[in-house]
Chains A and B, each alone.
Chain A
Amino acid sequence: MISAKGLSVAYDKKNVVSNFTMDIKEGEIVSIIGPNGSGKSTLLKVISRLMNASNGVTYLEGNDVHRLPTKEVAKKLAILGQHNHSPSDCTVRDLVAYGRVPHKQWYEFSNYDDNSIVDWAISVTGLQEFEHRCVTTLSGGERQRAWVAMALAQKTKVLILDEPTTYLDVSHQLEVMELLKKINEEYKMTIIMVLHDLNQASKYSDRMYVINKGKLVMQGCPSEVITKKMLRDVYKIDAHISADQVSGKPLFFPLGLLKNKDTKEMKSKIV
């Protein structure tokens, strides 16, 4: 479905992603994990053609994503960024309806077909009762769902999300994750997302990619990826790992930061 070959990305000549390769099959849920600043958002932007790579190619169904007309890409792939803002008087329904823009000629207004798709996106995300509220007046979780609904209204096969659950409380986080799982199962949507919560990533993903300092560290199913060694190498933490009793997927519990040279130095400065 989506594959990246040897991607490198630089901001002002400084490489933030180097030689990254991945291959994602149709219908998979894949999460990308890694510490702050490791290049996750940059990677998502490049594979969804929002940014140019300095090297390497991203293929969407076999075609170079940067060579496809941007509107064609918009019908196949939707990306939801880390920060979103809408005009202050934009209602949930208005926002979701914008998801239909790629399917219209630039001069066309919405038609009946659009309305039924917008209705569908609103009901899948459970936003019926907020349909006519302004997006800016919603809670963080409701707002996140509204943006997901907009992406759904695009009717794409691939959905890419950058930290869809950050800023949400536990129940809203689960709500969004369950929603994504449902979309994946019922509509065979391929989902690629960046997550910071490793346990959620483990629970909901088929596969995970670990990125550190712009480089691919490892990839595989959650039980291959969530290991003491990975947490030690990438996150510099000591952790206890067990298995979820129902799914058998790995769960981790942080025990503490590793005492390396840097942390010692920092401490001595503070003292």
Chain B
Amino acid sequence: MQSQSAKYAQFAVRKRLAKRIGIFIAEISLLVILAVISLRFGSVRFSTGEIINALIDGSDSTIRTIVVNIRMPRTALAILVGASLATSGALLQAVLRNPLASPGLIGVIAGASLSAITIMLLFPALTVLVPFIAFIGGLVSTLLVFTLAWKKGMSIIRIILAGVAVNAMLGGGTSLLSVLYSDRIQGVIMWLNGTLAGKSWDQVKLLLPYVAVGLLVAVLSVNVANSLQLGDEAAKNLGVRLNLARIVLCSTAAFLTGISVAVVGIIGFVGLIVPHVSRLLVGSDYRFMLPSSAILGAVLLVSADIVARTVFSPIELPVGVIMAVLGGPFFLYLLRKVRGYGH
């Protein structure tokens, strides 16, 4: 009896591990396939063979130029941004222990928007500086949220409330500016809804080192994230320095989101939904959940971008809109399918 149940248990562990590994393989394959599709489709369509030939012997220089200089950096950017935003959301959900936590909650997106929109509407001559200023604006408003939340340490509820308040104020500023300068708003709409159009290797190079550092810190804090899920006191009992952990994880999240938003504009949906999808698939252990979130974030953004630039080609849609329209129903489907989630 005992040995039978032990055998069954052993089987259960193996099964869970196998399932997790299987899911990882599937996620990575999906990302590779989507990346290839992303290189093939667009205003002109190439076959995989044509792309490979153009890359290897460089015979067809138009294909080469389009693929290497336009589609590759765009796809790479989608992967980096998607992974950053999803990781950021996963980190915040661990710290704030709140399923509604998303990178937007700690003020980084609202701050980046307000500063970017201020530049674009009031000082159009400085538009080249938008990424830099949006990044600074995002971090400053996150800092504001932390400062407001701090009272001999940071409690979760204070972070959330301070975030909501700061978001409301900054959002009000953004709305005010859009109303006052409604004649110029056209050029800003793409940015406000997030777009990967017209991006080159320059942006990828700009983003890559920061994203690499951010993701590294995130991956290294999985033990802390796991402990935080057990509650404040249990985490502290396990030797986690609560305030330090909160600050490091929130700042990493703000940093990853800030740098992404600065380059491609506002993309909200990934950071909220992807961690949940990932949790549904591989469970809540951050050693699996966090990497899975990063991959799925990339998957989601690459596919949304493919749709954004092909369905109404040559008109490009903002990728943020596509994501909400397609990702929402998919998430609801998963939520209904996987039993026991949310109980």
Spell out A's residues near B (CB within 8 Å). 45, 48-50, 70-75, 78-81, 84-90, 93-94, 98-99, 101-102, 104, 106-109, 128-129, 131-132, 151, 154
Q: Which 3 residue pairs spanning A and B have beta carbons closest together?
A: A74-B239, A71-B239, A102-B239
Whether the Cβ atoms of A98 and B230 lie closer than 8 Å is yes
The complex places the Cα of A38 from the Cα of B227 at a distance, in Å, of 30
- Taking CB atoms, residues of chain B closer than 8 Å to A80 are 237
The complex places the Cα of A158 from the Cα of B226 at a distance, in Å, of 24
Whether the Cβ atoms of A74 and B237 lie closer than 8 Å is yes
CB of B44 closer than 8 Å to a CB of A? no
Whether the Cβ atoms of A106 and B221 lie closer than 8 Å is yes
Whether the Cβ atoms of A88 and B284 lie closer than 8 Å is yes
Using CB atoms, name the residue of chain A closest to B152: A52
Would you give the 0/1 interface string for B277-320, flagging 1 where the beta carbon is closer than 8 Å to chain A? Answer: 00000011101000000000000000000000000000000000
Whether the Cβ atoms of A132 and B12 lie closer than 8 Å is yes
- A107 with B220, Cβ < 8 A, contacts A74-B238, A88-B340, A89-B283 known: yes
Whether the Cβ atoms of B223 and A104 lie closer than 8 Å is yes
Whether the Cβ atoms of B240 and A70 lie closer than 8 Å is yes
Query: How far is the CB of B20 from the nearest CB of chain A, in Å?
Result: 11
- Taking CB atoms, residues of chain B closer than 8 Å to A89 are 283-284
The complex places the Cα of A104 from the Cα of B13 at a distance, in Å, of 23
Whether the Cβ atoms of A84 and B238 lie closer than 8 Å is no
Whether the Cβ atoms of B237 and A94 lie closer than 8 Å is no
Whether the Cβ atoms of A98 and B9 lie closer than 8 Å is no
Whether the Cβ atoms of B343 and A98 lie closer than 8 Å is no
How many residues on B have C-beta within 8 angstroms of the other chain's C-beta atoms?
30
Whether the Cβ atoms of B223 and A78 lie closer than 8 Å is no
CB of B234 closer than 8 Å to a CB of A? yes
The complex places the Cα of A186 from the Cα of B5 at a distance, in Å, of 28
Whether the Cβ atoms of A132 and B13 lie closer than 8 Å is yes
Known contacts A50-B236, A81-B237, A108-B223; 7 further A-B pairs (Cβ under 8 A): A70-B241, A74-B237, A79-B237, A87-B229, A101-B227, A102-B238, A129-B2
- A70 with B239, Cβ < 8 A, contacts A45-B233, A81-B233, A107-B220 known: yes
Query: How far is the CB of B10 from the nearest CB of chain A, in Å?
Result: 8
Q: Which of A71, A84, A98, A99 has the most CB of B within 10 A?
A: A98
Instruction: List 16 interface pairs A-B (beta carbons < 8 Å), by A numbering.
Output: A74-B238, A74-B239, A81-B231, A85-B230, A87-B284, A88-B284, A89-B283, A98-B227, A99-B238, A101-B226, A101-B238, A101-B240, A106-B224, A128-B2, A129-B2, A131-B9
- Taking CB atoms, residues of chain B closer than 8 Å to A88 are 284, 340-341, 343
Query: How far is the CB of A146 from the nearest CB of chain B, in Å?
Result: 12
Whether the Cβ atoms of A101 and B6 lie closer than 8 Å is no
Query: How far is the CB of A257 from the nearest CB of chain B, in Å?
Result: 34
- Taking CB atoms, residues of chain B closer than 8 Å to A104 are 223
- Taking CB atoms, residues of chain A closer than 8 Å to B241 are 70-71
Using CB atoms, name the residue of chain B closest to A80: B237
Whether the Cβ atoms of B239 and A73 lie closer than 8 Å is yes
Whether the Cβ atoms of A70 and B229 lie closer than 8 Å is no
Query: How far is the CB of B157 from the nearest CB of chain A, in Å?
Result: 16
Which of B2, B5, B9, B220 contacts A106, CB < 8 Å? B220
Q: Which of B233, B234, B237, B341 has the most CB of A within 10 A?
A: B237
The complex places the Cα of A50 from the Cα of B237 at a distance, in Å, of 7
The complex places the Cα of A71 from the Cα of B341 at a distance, in Å, of 33
- Taking CB atoms, residues of chain A closer than 8 Å to B233 are 45, 50, 79, 81
The complex places the Cα of A93 from the Cα of B238 at a distance, in Å, of 16
Which of A70, A84, A101 contacts B223, CB < 8 Å? A101
The complex places the Cα of A94 from the Cα of B282 at a distance, in Å, of 14
Whether the Cβ atoms of A81 and B234 lie closer than 8 Å is yes
